[in-house]
Amino acid sequence: MEHKRINIQQLEPNAYKIMFALDNYLFTSQLSKTHWELIKIRASQINGCAFCINLHTSDALQQGETAQRIFMLNAWKETGLFTEEERTILAMTEEITLISQNGLTDETYQKAEKLFDSNYIAQIIMAIVTINAWNRIAISTLKPIA
């Protein structure tokens, strides 16, 4: 049996308020709900965050995402299920989540510049940064799946 860990939300509510402020910023940004959910699910898969995978796949399904696309997200490069924009966002998600490998490559960044304006690119990056922070909080504290 795993040892129960701290609840940061209870112990440091101001830190959580700041994290929720990032989520609120993204919710009111131009970032499409589909793009945002794909970012959250893919980063959470890479990081192995069961809490976030469970939460965000459920959210995506409620917002109309198909089960097939969610099931195939781990193999997005081998499918034709994702648009060019989504493929670029997924590549950005992987490269930023795995920042220590190569970082956000020039090739991926240049694809993003052809598809999105600078503000949208900034919002994509902030969404990736935010879900990675949430993943690290949930994994470090063994946040239970509701």
| Residues of the chain predicted below pLDDT 50 | none
In whole angstroms, give the CA distance from residue 17 to residue 34.
24
In whole angstroms, give the CA distance from residue 55 to residue 72.
17
**48 Ramachandran zone, left/alpha/beta (phi>0; psi -120 to 50):** left
- Per-residue pLDDT of 81-100, as tens digits, reads 999 999 999 999 999 999 99
CB 67 within 8 A of CB 17: no
Rounded to two decimals, the pTM is 0.94
CB 138 within 8 A of CB 6: no
- pLDDT for res 65: 96
CA-closest candidate to residue 42, choices 66, 22, 69, 80: 69
Rounded to 10 degrees, the C-alpha dihedral 67/70/49/28 comes to -100
